[in-house]
């Protein structure tokens, strides 16, 4: 699912070079700060800004996660970069 901070420049480069990014997988938002408000990862924030769907499964190894992935990417992607 990638490292959230490290993944932002990679995501931006993929988009800048015209690649179609169909979804971003990242961890779910975690509580942070004094108010313990849910904070999305940096890559989630950037993906949402770019209008890219964000998925936050707890694991990619369950049948449900695989089914969700298949629905998100009905056509087989040419690559699945991980950062």
Q: Is residue 29 part of a domain?
A: yes
Q: Is residue 13 part of a domain?
A: yes
What residues make up the domain containing 58?
4-72
Burial class (CB in 10 A: 0-12, 13-18, 19+), 38: exposed
Place 46 in a pLDDT band, splitting at 50, 70 and 90: very high
Q: Is residue 15 part of a domain?
A: yes
* Domain count across the chain: 1
Mean pLDDT, range 3-11, rounded to an integer: 85
The residue to which tokens 């699912």 are assigned: 1
The residue to which tokens 């056509």 are assigned: 75
- C-alpha 72: how far from chain center: 12
Q: Is residue 53 part of a domain?
A: yes
pLDDT (tens digit per residue) in 28-37: 888 988 899 9
């Amino acid at each position: 699912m990638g490292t959230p901070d490290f993944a932002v420049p990679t995501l931006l480069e993929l988009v800048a070079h015209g690649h179609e990014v169909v979804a971003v997988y990242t961890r779910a938002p975690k509580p942070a700060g004094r108010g313990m408000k849910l904070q999305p990862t940096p890559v989630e924030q950037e993906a949402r800004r770019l209008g890219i769907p964000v998925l936050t499964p707890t694991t990619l190894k369950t049948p449900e996660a695989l089914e969700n992935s298949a629905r998100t990417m009905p056509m087989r992607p040419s690559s699945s970069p991980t950062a």
